[in-house]
Structures are given as structure tokens and as C-alpha cells.
Amino acid sequence: MAIHYNLLNKSESYRQRCDQFENRAMAYESGMRAPKRGIVTIPVVVHVLHNPASPAENISKEQIDSQIDVLNQDFRATNPDRVGVPAVWTHLIADAEVEFQLATVDPEGNPTDGVTRTATDKTFFTADDEDVKSSATGGVDAWPSLDYLNLWVCGELRSGGQAILGYAQFPGGPPETDGVVIAHTFFGTTGTVSAPYDLGRTATHEIGHWLSLRHIWGDDGSGCSGGDLVDDTPNQARANFGRPTFPHVTCSNGPNGDMFMNYMDYTDDAGMFMFTAGQSVRMSATLEGPRASFLARTATQAEPAQPRVLVGATVGSNGAEAPQASPAPAVAPAPATASADAEVGELRREVAQLRSVLAQIATLVARS
């Protein structure tokens, strides 16, 4: 969130774009606009930065693959540990209908495994200067942010002199710094990962930010005045750490208390299991707004499914109800008709126009 607030302070154009998005998100959340997309697949490039003096930083492909697997489970609500969600909230567990896959083609059109590896003399990177995102400062340049989610994985990561797990840029910022940065010890589920952040949830949390989700406690210190702009997440006083027990009541939010098992809190990886329906709607507003360039790959789908909420329950070993997925609406291939082709062509034209606008915005941001 520090990157977001820094951009708000520095750039009037960024503030305006954020305001425009919030108006869009409010329309979605109020039901005035319904999501129109189906499942969206995000191409991912993982930029591995490693210091030759610390060979462990050059993480394995297996570790990278394990992180992609976690993302696909968490954003599709197929993660087995969702049985830990208390019964009072199982009806809110949402399939965000977002999937991730390592890129197979690089920006020049060449085959790739979706991973770049760059040696650096840096012993640590900081969120304060964004050096990790530029080859001129010991990092590696982003791939085009309209086409790829850039994930930078590096050694130690700091902000304000303190070690951090990772950070992300919200939509609307400079394209050359757009993406997510995570320290290698908190990336994936195998290899160099370190408990209690060893289940890949740092990336889930940060990509939530990349898709416009805010911290569930509202970033208001320990007060009760802030919020995450999502109606179905309870107000709570502060970030939760470790493994709280249910119910954990703050801000007079009893009897159920904080939704500390939400991916946008700060609990241990083993203590977070869910996005809510409201958060899924906010992500839809993002994917049909500032990140609409990723919709082009699903343009041939007819009647896309709505964001899916998991319903029904069985009793898990911890006494909580385990959600079961409701049947997903069928998504048929678009018929080969002139009208379908016209719709696809129109969407592609809109995406092209959006790319042009975003390029102009990027120039304004650089000057502001």
C-alpha cells in the first residue's frame, strides 16, 4: 500500500484515475453494472534476480511452478484449506475466475518458459527506490504491463529500512514499474521458502492489490474509521498476525469479529483461505476497467459466467463447514456468426483504444 499512497501524493493524474476506478467499482458493487467477463487468464513473467554470492536466490523452476499452482487454487477457490473458513462466512467464499499461467511467448514473439534470470550485485532491494524494476539499477526491466503480470523475485526486500515480504503496484501507476515484487523466501511452497510464509500466500495477497483490493482493516492504524471499500468484509481495528482464533472481535464487530482468514489480512500463510464475493466483484471492475487489456484473450467466449460464490457445506475436521462449489454456468464457444465476430472485433477495438489511452496516461504520470 505504501507505493499506492506515494503515487497518490505525487501524481494528480494517478489520483484522478483512482477516483474514476472507485466510481466504476461502486457501480459494480451496487448492482448498477454487472460483470460481463468469463474466466480471465493472466500471462505471468517471473523475473528472478540473484546475487552470485547467494546461489539460493536463483530459485528453481519447481519453486516458481508451485507459486503458480497456489495462485490458481486461491483465485478459483479450490484451495483445500478453505475448510477453515468459519461456517458464518462460507456463503461468501468466492471464485474470482482469474487464472495465471507462465508466459509462453516473450514481447518479441519468441518462445519462453515465462522466467527470466538476471545476476545482480545487489545484496538487497528496497520498495523505496524500485531499483529491482530497472536494468540500469541492478534489476530487470518490466515486460509490457498491458500484456503480462510482472513478478520480480529477489533476495532480501526492504521498505523504510525494515525487511518486508513483498509489495505491489495498484492499477493506474507507471507501466515501467507495474507488477509485484516478492522476496524469494516467501515465494511458492518449496525450495527456499521460510515458515510461516511458506504456502505462497504473499503472492496471493500482493496480486490482490494489483487487482485493486485493499487491506481488510482499512489502513487506519488501530482505529475503526477505515475500510476496504468492500461491503461484505467486516470492519476491523488493525492487521492480524499469526493464527488468531475465531471469533476475534474488534471495532464492535461481534459476534463474528474480524475476517482474519481473508487473503488481504496479515496472518500466517496457513491462516488465510478466502476472497469474498464483494472482493471478487471489485476484481471484476478492475479487469473490465484499468486492466481490461487482459480480456482480449477471452473475447471469443459467449455469455461469460458471473463470478461464482461457493455454496453448501459439509463439516470439516475442525468443526467448521467446508464449502462445496455450486455448478459453474456453462461457457460455450462463440458461434461463428457475423454478430459474434462483430462483438469480438468491437472488444478488440476497445482494447486497442485503451492501450493508446494508457500510453498517454503513462507519459503524463512520468511528467507529473
Q: Output the tens digit of pLDDT for each of the chain's 368 residues.
A: 666 656 666 677 777 777 777 877 777 877 756 667 789 999 999 999 999 999 999 999 999 999 999 999 999 999 999 999 999 999 999 999 999 999 999 999 999 999 999 999 999 999 999 999 999 999 999 999 999 999 999 999 999 999 999 999 999 999 999 999 999 999 999 999 999 999 999 999 999 999 999 999 999 888 898 899 999 999 999 999 999 999 999 999 999 999 999 999 999 999 999 999 999 999 999 999 999 999 876 543 333 334 445 543 333 323 333 333 333 333 333 333 333 344 444 444 454 455 555 555 554 444 44
Beta-carbon neighbour count of residue 156 at 10 Å?
A: 17
3-state secondary structure of 45: strand
In this predicted structure, what is the pLDDT of residue 360?
A: 53
pTM: 0.78
Instruction: Estimate to the nearest angstrom the gap between the alpha carbon of 138 and the chain centroid.
Output: 25
In this predicted structure, what is the pLDDT of residue 368?
A: 44
Of 367, 355, 368, the residue nearest 145 (C-alpha): 355
Cell numbers given for 242:
499469526
Of 183, 128, 122, the residue nearest 159 (C-alpha): 128
Question: What is the dotted CATH code of the domain comprising 1-297?
Answer: 3.40.390.10
In this predicted structure, what is the pLDDT of residue 323?
A: 34
Tell me 354's DSSP state. Answer: H
In this predicted structure, what is the pLDDT of residue 189?
A: 99
Residue matched to cell numbers 482464533: 245
Active site residues: 206
d(CA 60, CA 48): 10
Extended strands (E) in the chain: 40-50, 94-95, 98-102, 115-119, 124-126, 149-154, 156-159, 162-163, 166-168, 180-183, 308-309, 311-315, 321-324
